[in-house]
Amino acid sequence: MFEELDPLLHSQLRLAVMSLLISVREAEFTYIKEKTQATAGNLSVQISKLKEAGYIEVEKGFKDNFPQTLCRISPKGIEAFEKYVKALQQYLNLPKP
List 8, 27, 33, 36, residue binding its own copies (CB under 8 A): 36
- If one asks whether residue 70 binds its own copies (CB under 8 A), the answer comes out as no
Helix (H), strand (E) at residue 68: strand 66-73
- If one asks whether residue 95 binds its own copies (CB under 8 A), the answer comes out as yes
Q: Residue 46 carries which side chain, given as an amino acid letter?
A: Q
Q: Closest distance between DNA and the C-beta of residue 96, in Å?
A: 27
17, 9 contact by CB (below 8 A): no
- If one asks whether residue 78 binds its own copies (CB under 8 A), the answer comes out as yes
Q: Of its own copies, DNA, none, which one sits near residue 51, judging by CB under 5 to 8 A according to partner kind?
A: none
Exposed / middle / buried, residue 34 (Cβ in 10 Å: 0-12, 13-18, 19+): exposed
